[in-house]
A and B are shown apart, each in its own frame.
Chain A
């Protein structure tokens, strides 16, 4: 079934989605994206289609809704009043495709800079056509309406202090820019600007074969590269209807959980640095380097591993992997203990983190926040439990939930999730099946060199695969896995060739960041910094 679950008329978007939300329990908006069909082999009713992806409140099912946009107006109704998450999602579609959303409160570019002309993901936009940006925006065009909506008058604006935090600010972890209006130490209004690390992931995908995209996925959430590899390859395998071998599944679970471990380590370590607890950083980072050594032994790279392949893995486990792995896990356990001994009963730490940056559960769902940030708010949503893949249902592990949704909960949830991940890894290593790691499939894997040099079929096979890539059946498909930050989804559109027609990544922290401004308003600036660190915004992921 490689097509959208529902095809509706553009005029019914709002009514349909509101019915789905209120009557059929699709309460989580995962993603909004568009497809430009101008070079698609099939005839379509119009050039652009908008795709909405929703998930039920018990998190077990997702639904994709597709609608064709009128070519003349390029307008559809906005659903921002149904879902908070739609705000940034629709802005991105407008930015990349030029589809306008009627009734959107703030329809402006979000990833590309304000001097950019055109819409880069349209098929007629040339991939290498860069556009120079000479200055950054002042963001007052967003700030003034925001302040007015909070009841400030023109005359009050003089009394507020406008402060720019980022993008080059140690706390903004690279590339987030927040523009805040402050009364004393308290933030009254906050505008977030992103796009400083927009690297054109989706455009690059449209110009590379399915296998060549794997290195690009590494660099989405670069703290847990292999989880992205797995998420992407799983989506392509599902489209091909290929079931990978049991050993490959088990190895993917092991390295996936190991990546989750390193992801949480980076997040917690950086968070403690922002709190001023530098010692924690040294403690937790040492075993992470050990994990990197393990990765480089296994995959050849420390950080950007590109380990999975469509239909399997690049290498099998090396001899002695198990001992190295146990070594790493022991070190991580020790480091977690050391770190917790410093903060667990530390009064200063408690004062700085408890009741700070609280995310309420219903707001989190409205904003499309998933992963640890949602679980810390007390919602037990984990795709490994709710929509298990690769046999996660057979493992004995707990979904870690918080009670309050504050910074403290998020830090502690991450620590506990590390322990759960280690539990999963140990079980997986015990159960590791033997056998092949790659599916035997001539349309996916290169033939053996004997065949290539020995007979014409093998030679042709090698040639076709190398030059044309893996041919994926025509259609659209959405697949999701539990990434380091939450639901990592890939919505892939194929035109039947070896190059994807479109790949949309559903980046979990894009939606967390979209909600960030609302979360920190009313808090102190120093707390906003800590909140930012605890939500684990990875620039490569939200900017893509």
Chain B
């Protein structure tokens, strides 16, 4: 039994805020774009496969088109050569969008402290969640997805999302 307006609508109607309804729906239907470049990409396959089953979190529709995705999972080492490609993909994604940096290489360059490896993708694009490990266990990736779900509850259609992020490839 509701109060106020709800009392007149019966039990089949729930009133809520538009933002909350959208966020609730969105957080359980993340569309990840798996940017798998290396070993972590293989471990991301395990996350998607039967045992760990990413679809329990509503995020199994792995798209390879940035236009259809709202969660970018960077799984693997990003070299300086790959960086412009990553940047372009990030730019092509529609707002609201999030980034998980999976594994040591994506987060900090890992133990590839050398001339060819980008020392963390946050030099190029903003990162929401870092996952430690080389490669991280699938549970850790699922944990990061859950944290992104929590973050997505802060969204609002009237919120200005443009960040003032400036990476090394931003002119």
Residues of A near any B CB (own CB < 8 A): 111-113, 120, 125-136, 167-170, 173-175, 195-200, 203-204, 215-216, 219, 222-223, 266, 281-282, 285-286, 288-289, 292, 302-304, 539-540
Contacts and interface: CB of A to CB of B under 8 A. Distances in A.
A7 B163 CA distance: 61
Given A174-B37, A285-B50, A539-B38, A199 B83 contact: no
Interface string B19-43: 0000000000000000111110111
Contact of B134 (A136, A282, A304): A304
Given A197-B79, A222-B42, A286-B50, 14 more contacts: A112-B81, A113-B80, A128-B114, A130-B115, A131-B80, A195-B79, A196-B37, A196-B82, A200-B112, A204-B111, A266-B42, A282-B50, A289-B49, A539-B37
B114 A200 contact: yes
Contact of B38 (A134, A292, A540): A540
Given A125-B115, A136-B85, A222-B42, A169 B37 contact: no
B117 A304 contact: no
B112 A199 contact: yes
Interface string B61-76: 0001000000000001
Given A197-B38, A199-B77, A303-B43, A167 B115 contact: no
Interface in B75-94: 76-77, 79-86, 89
Contacts of B97: none
Contacts of B49: 281-282, 285-286, 289
Contact of B85 (A132, A168, A266): A168
B39 A199 contact: no
A111 B43 CA distance: 25
B114 A199 contact: yes
B56 interface: no
B111 to A, nearest CB: 7
B43 A120 contact: no
Nearest to A118: B115
B81 A168 contact: no
Contacts of B150: none
A170 B85 contact: no
Tell me what chain B mostly uses at the interface: helix, strand, loop, or mixed.
loop
Nearest to B83: A133
B144 interface: no
A129 B45 contact: no
12 contacts: A112-B81, A127-B115, A130-B80, A130-B119, A132-B80, A168-B64, A196-B85, A219-B38, A282-B49, A285-B50, A302-B137, A303-B43
Contacts, number: 133
A510 to B, nearest CB: 16
A200 B45 CA distance: 25
Greatest chain A CB density within 10 A among B42, B49, B119 is at: B42
A170 B50 CA distance: 20
B114 A134 contact: no
Contact of A200 (B76, B116, B135): B116
B40 to A, nearest CB: 9
Contact of A222 (B38, B89, B137): B38
B46 to A, nearest CB: 6
Contact of B64 (A113, A134, A169, A539): A169
A216 B111 CA distance: 9
B152 to A, nearest CB: 24
Nearest to B124: A132
B112 A204 contact: yes
A200 B117 contact: yes
A134 B42 contact: no
A219 to B, nearest CB: 6
B82 A134 contact: no
Nearest to B39: A222
Nearest to B111: A215
Contact of B116 (A120, A134, A169, A170): A120
Contacts of A540: 38-39
B14 interface: no
B125 to A, nearest CB: 13
A135 B80 CA distance: 10
A204 B82 contact: no
A136 B135 CA distance: 28
A539 B75 CA distance: 13
Greatest chain B CB density within 10 A among A113, A134, A196, A281 is at: A196
B95 interface: no
B35 A289 contact: no
B168 interface: yes
A68 to B, nearest CB: 26
A414 B169 CA distance: 43
B85 to A, nearest CB: 6
A175 B37 contact: yes
Contacts of B17: none
A286 to B, nearest CB: 5
A210 B76 CA distance: 25
B143 interface: no
Nearest to A284: B49
Contacts of B52: 289
A198 B116 contact: yes
Contacts of A303: 39, 42-43, 135
Contacts of B80: 113, 130-133
B113 interface: yes
A289 B77 CA distance: 23
B117 A174 contact: no
A304 B103 CA distance: 12
Contacts of A222: 38-39, 42
B51 interface: yes
Contacts of A219: 38-39
B46 A292 contact: yes
